[in-house]
Amino acid sequence: MVATLQVYLYLIFFLVIFALCVWALVDLLRRPPAAFPSAGKRTKSFWGAILGVATAVSFMSIPPPIGLGFLSFLGLLSAVGAIVYLVDVRPAVAPYNRRRGPRGPSGGW
């Protein structure tokens, strides 16, 4: 019974990591490329490579029958890439939208 609970917790843990990576990647794809240098961050291509690899590795680390079940340690490292993007880069590029530059403090112009 305890072993079964551990297996389910392990599965949930790696599913959460995968969801975090997918969230970060989808958010990245919605941001304009010019927002990254304007906010003083690395380029969108750099973060796209980091988050693309992190998403693929996190999927491979999900235990079977959903994922492949290997690279578990790298799955943990992929969470680090997604967390750094979501905590540091995303708030910096969030004020920029696709059509215009940064929004004012009230959200308007």
Give, in order, the Cα–Cα distances in Å from 75 to each of 21, 24, 29. 10, 15, 21
Round to whole Å and give the CA distance between 33 and 35.
5
Helix, strand or coil, per DSSP, at residue 12 = helix
Round to whole Å and give the CA distance between 81 and 24.
9
The answer to the question of residue 101 being in a domain is no
Structural domain that includes position 69: 2-93
The answer to the question of residue 67 being in a domain is yes
The answer to the question of residue 105 being in a domain is no
The answer to the question of residue 108 being in a domain is no
Tally the domains of the chain: 1
The answer to the question of residue 70 being in a domain is yes
With a cut of 80, say whether residue 104 has pLDDT above it: no
The answer to the question of residue 14 being in a domain is yes
The answer to the question of residue 104 being in a domain is no
User: And the tokens for 85?
Assistant: 């993007």
Q: What is the separation, in whole angstroms, between the first and last Cα of the chain?
A: 59
Residue 67 confidence (pLDDT): 73
pLDDT digits (tens, 9 = 90+) for 73-91: 888 999 999 999 999 999 9
The answer to the question of residue 36 being in a domain is yes
Angle at the Cα of 11 (from 5 to 13), degrees rounded to 5?
A: 100
Q: Is there a contact between 78 and 54 (Cβ–Cβ < 8 Å)? A: yes
pLDDT digits (tens, 9 = 90+) for 13-36: 999 999 999 999 999 999 999 999
